[in-house]
Chain A
Amino acid sequence: MSTEFESETDHSKAVLKIEEATVRFCGDSGDGMQLAGTQLTNTSALAGNDVATFPDFPAEIRAPRGTLAGVSGFQVHFSSTDIYTPGETVDALIAMNPAALKTNIADLKSGGVLIANSDAFDKKSLEQAGYDDNPLDDETLDSYQLFQVPMTDMTRRAVDGLDLSQKEADRCRNFFAMGLAFWLYGRSLEPTRRFIDLKFKKLPAIAEANRRALAAGRNYGETTDAFVSSFSVDKAKLSPGTYRNMTGNQALAWGLMTAAKLSGKELFLGSYPITPASDILHELSRYKNFGVRTFQAEDEIAAICSAIGAAYSGHMALTTSSGPGIALKGEAMGLAVMLELPLLVVNVQRGGPSTGLPTKTEQADLLQVMFGRNGECPLPVISARSPADCFEVAIEAWRVAARFMTPVMILSDGYLANGSEPWRIVNYQDLKPIPITHPEAPTNGKPFLAYERDELLARPWAIPGTPGLMHRVGGLEKADGTGNVSYDPINHQHMTDTRAQKVANVAQVIGDQEVMGDPAGDLLVLSWGGPYGSCRTAVTRLQAEGHKVSHAHLRWLNPFPANLGEILRSFKKVLIPELNMGQLSMLIRNQFLIDTIGLNKVQGKPFQVAEIIDKAESLLP
């Protein structure tokens, strides 16, 4: 279904046209802020804006109410131009309680819109948030456009007469806040109304209450004297096509299903729940009619082992996890390398080490996935750069895994997984098939060789059930060709070299590295994964100022594209911004013997464009 919504707001007030806006909802983790943010995102996308989001929530499902630890936020950036990040400073902040105000106010730009639920600023909540005095009453917030809105009271009044407990009534507050935000940016209420109808189909009273709260929020903006004007953001000039909004995890799941179909395979997922990867399991388990089989295993080890079993049996095999689970999968990944079976391992990275910051983003597992296994155990590693990019990355990863008979590691991260952006819908017919063949019994009387290699060093994928090809695979070193157990020293050297060369051969199919900007200059910003958007935006701005700066974003981290060394040597300096302490830097220095300059941070947050610009400027002549 394709719909276009016009704003239904009858603007009796002034409407200011703006290019873009960044809005953040924040409140208690029970306040429904993620939902509010998602609705504003979808509605903005449906209105034709480019959007990017950054959900930020605590590790605890319900930290004690009103505490700083329990604050949950969702940031939406929408624009009439192409955007690559969920926004820098916030233009409008909607704070549902003092704790939310306290933890988020620093990101609101000077002069920005601050909408506070004044009903929540009682003595106890202020104390919990560590405020001695009510900041709404003194001069603390003078540099912002403060709007004190008694949301609790207004919501209760809006739902009055419905058969609801006070708790239930108060739970509608987020819809009031949405309604007000929708008014502020001239958004239609219609998509959210449809969402309410669908979501609360079985709870008519709740549905009605939410509908009323939503309308009350909008009417409040329209009628109260406090707001003198609202904003409008034109449609973005996205390339023509039909779009939908997608999170990274959803895009990854759909990409995997698409890859399965393109290769004529059915998908098997072995997984064990872990934040922020679980949504891939949830999403894929819904699509059994696509032949998807999902197995929630007893732990991450069983998850990957079941997937390897599935691969041996001839299926497209997948396992999904995050850093701690990837650590558990290490031994089995080594087996997959040894068996030379195609397998996809997804690591949606989060803050580490150990349990670390489970709901926050980080890129600190690069060296883990490169080297975190016993023995000489290389495997290809690919990374996604944006939520929608996860779709293509999944397909490309499977193309390589199937072609080379190797496990492939897909790196995503919490920021990509939960963030969303518009995805231009593809036509299945336009996608390149992934050819896979399975051998039949040899008819020339020669014995079947399970480890005979083709020109790229891949072995055949013979599957059980095929007469005449019975063979045994295992983790012991095997003789090249036959695959029989071999302890021969020279053979072990040969097999180690062969497995490494096979992974190196992947460079022959992944294409050359592209550079945004001149192929040589003063500074190359080299990035991978989630920082793509911030780096691209930063470099674009620097280029506009006339600096000789270019941007190269790596998709494959192992192997590197064949021309990468040449690119690196064409710049006077190479800056590598990473949400870790310098892991790509280590790989680049090691492989190319060039110096790199790191911009490193592990604060559970993505890079701000300004951070990259500042660092880059300090390096420019």
Chain B
Amino acid sequence: MAPVELPVLKPGDFGSDQDVRWCPGCGDYSILAQMKKVMAALAWPREKTVFVSGIGCSSRFPYYMNTYGMHSIHGRAPAFATGIKSCRPDLHVFVITGDGDALSIGGNHFMHVVRRNVNLNIILFNNRIYGLTKGQYSPTSELGKITKSTPMGAIDNPMNPLSLAIGCEATFVARSIDVHIKHLADTLKRAAEHPGVSFVEVYQNCNVFNDGAYKYATDKSVKSDNIIEIEHGKPLIFGKNRDKGIRLNGMQPEVVELGKGITEDDLLFHDELAPEPTLAYLLSRMRYPEFPEPIGVLRCVDAPRYDELLNEQVAQARAEKGEGDLDKLFRSGDTWTVE
């Protein structure tokens, strides 16, 4: 038999016929472009992919993908996605969310979808602001931030999405940046391929309401001092001249300069496979300006997946009891007959 020729899809084939309506210059464009590339590289049939989102600028994403998609309600995308994946494990399901969507109104769902390890790919566009509602502070906005709703500065302590995900024992946790397009594409691809819940925080610039929030991580002149690309099995080295590293001092990470008696072997080596989430948590806590912020995969472990377990129980019940028979069920237990 001749081999079946599958049509080779290009990134452009994943774009829908809808006009993209983000502000010019918005970081969301870049994430969309990388996602299309990843889709083409994965070569999954388009009809087997579903993008589910909540509400926010970021959550318009599904409209722009030529796959199946649902633009749902604010904060609840993980729950819709759980329903889809539980019924249809054959589908590849992505959740697109924002910092307000996932962490504020949807915090509860986020926590539970992660702990259940539903085999979904959650991409959080973190612009540290409410974009769609025009510029209020979000759960990731920094202390003191002046926004429309905080004229004297934000007084609530921001939350750390990676730490939260790791606290909920996410099996795949990563971070990338909208403008680091190759890194972003690689990270999204790995997330998509991970069996189990994968969580990717993407630093996304909202050039209208929070421009430059990640300048420290994207500006050519400073970024290599402020972010650190972590890789499994490799020491944590950063800096323009790759002359700085992270060393563990007891339970505390510290920045050290290489040379002068300190070698790579003294540094912390990344282990994304560590069964305990302690190391990943420690990395997630490294924040600018005290530390360079890690990008890459912090944690990637295997654990039972909710959707598979659910479907296995269905299969097991069928194997043990046989396919359900309603007539038998109706007549089980105590019955009586009236002539």
Q: Tell which of B76, B83, B84, B339 has the most Cβ of chain A within 10 Å.
A: B83
Chain B residues near A42: list those with CB within 8 A: 334
B81 within 8 A of A: yes
Is B329 an interface residue, CB under 8 A from the partner? Answer: yes
Question: In the complex the two chains form, what is the Cα distance from A303 to B334 in whole Å?
Answer: 34
- Selected A-B contacts with CB under 8 Å, 14 pairs: A4-B337, A242-B331, A257-B324, A287-B317, A287-B329, A289-B322, A305-B79, A309-B84, A313-B91, A425-B330, A425-B331, A466-B47, A470-B47, A485-B18
Residues of B within 8 A of A240 (CB): 338-339
Task: Kindly supply a per-residue 1/0 record for chain A positions 279-315, scoring 1 wherever the CB is within 8 Å of any chain B CB and 0 otherwise.
Answer: 0000000011111110101110111011111111111
Contact partner of B83 among A4, A239, A270, A427, CB < 8 A? Answer: A270
Q: Does B102 contact A (CB under 8 A)?
A: no
Q: Does B71 contact A (CB under 8 A)?
A: yes
Task: Using known A-B contacts A313-B88, A485-B63, determine if residue A254 contacts B329 with beta carbons closer than 8 Å.
Answer: yes
Chain A interface residues (CB < 8 Å from chain B): 1-4, 42, 45-46, 48, 191, 235, 237-245, 254, 257-258, 261, 266, 268, 270, 287-293, 295, 297-299, 301-303, 305-315, 317, 331-332, 335, 339, 425-428, 464-476, 484-485
Instruction: Indicate whether A289 sits within 8 Å of B321 (C-beta atoms), given known contacts A241-B337, A425-B335, A469-B47.
Output: yes
Asked if A293 and B314 make an inter-chain contact with CB atoms under 8 angstroms apart, the answer reads yes
**Interface of B with A (CB < 8 Å)?**
16, 18, 45-48, 50, 52, 55, 62-63, 65-73, 76, 78-88, 90-91, 108-109, 111-112, 310-311, 313-314, 316-318, 320-324, 326-327, 329-339
Report yes or no: B68 in contact with A309, Cβ–Cβ below 8 A. Answer: no
Please give the distance in Å from B329's CB to the nearest CB on chain A: 7
Name the residue of chain A whose CB is nearest to the CB of B330. A425
Chain B residues closer than 8 Å to A46, beta-carbon distance: 334, 336
Q: Told that A288-B313, A289-B321, A332-B76 touch, could you supply 12 new A-B pairs with CB distance under 8 A?
A: A4-B337, A48-B336, A242-B336, A244-B334, A257-B326, A288-B316, A305-B109, A309-B79, A313-B88, A335-B72, A474-B62, A475-B72
With A425-B330, A464-B48, A465-B48 as known contacts, state yes or no: A313 contacts B87, CB within 8 Å: yes
Q: Which residues does chain A contribute within 8 Å of B320, judged by CB atoms?
A: 289
* Minimal Cβ-Cβ distance residue in B for A310: B83
Q: Is the CB of A268 within 8 A of B83?
A: yes
Report chain B residues within 8 Å CB of A243. Answer: 335-338
**A266 in contact with B69 given A467-B47, A474-B63 (CB within 8 Å):** no
Q: How far is the CB of B101 from chain A (nearest CB, A)?
A: 13
Cβ contact of B62, chosen from A254, A298, A469, A472, cutoff 8 A? A472
Q: Tally inter-chain residue pairs, CB-CB below 8 A.
A: 222
Flag if A307 contacts B47 (CB, 8 Å): no
Identity of the chain B residue whose Cβ is nearest the Cβ of A302 in the assembled complex: B79
Smallest CB separation, A402 vs chain B (Å): 16
**Alpha-carbon distance between A476 and B62 when the two chains are bound, in angstroms:** 13
A302 near B76 (CB under 8 angstroms)? yes
- Verify A427–B327 contact, CB threshold 8 A: yes
B330 lies within 8 A of A302 (CB): no
Q: Name the one of A257, A303, A464, A468 contacting B88, with C-beta atoms under 8 angstroms.
A: A464
A426 to nearest B CB, angstroms? Answer: 7
Residue from A191, A306, A332, A472 within 8 A of B73 (CB atoms): A332
- Beyond A305-B72, A467-B45, A485-B63, whether A293 also contacts B86 by CB under 8 A is yes
Evaluate contact between A476 and B84: CB separation under 8 angstroms.
no
How distant is A248 from chain B, measured CB to nearest CB, in Å?
16
Q: Note all chain A residues with C-beta closer than 8 A to B81.
A: 309
Across the interface, do A465 and B90 meet the contact criterion of CB distance under 8 Å? yes
Residues of B within 8 A of A302 (CB): 76, 78-79, 82, 108-109, 112
Q: How far is the CB of B180 from chain A (nearest CB, A)?
A: 28
A117 nearest CB across to chain B (Å): 28
Is B66's CB under 8 angstroms from A470's CB? yes
- A262 closest partner in B (C-beta): B326
Residue of A nearest to B70 (CB): A473
**With A268-B83, A309-B83 known to touch, is A241 a contact of B72 (CB < 8 Å)?**
no
- Please indicate the chain B residues that have their CB under 8 angstroms from the CB of A297 in the complex: 79, 82, 112
Please tell me which one of the listed residues A315, A339, A428 contacts residue B326 in the complex, with CB atoms under 8 A apart. Answer: A428
Query: With the chains together, A1 CA to B331 CA distance in Å?
Result: 6
Q: Give the contacting residue for B70; candidates A289, A468, A472, A484; CB below 8 A.
A: A472
Report Cα–Cα, A291/B322, bound state, in Å: 11
> Measured between alpha carbons, how far is A312 from B69 in the docked complex, in Å?
10
Known: A464-B48, A472-B63. A295 touches B86 (CB 8 A): yes
8 residue pairs, one from A and one from B, having the closest CB atoms: A309-B83, A474-B71, A290-B324, A306-B83, A305-B79, A288-B317, A302-B79, A309-B80
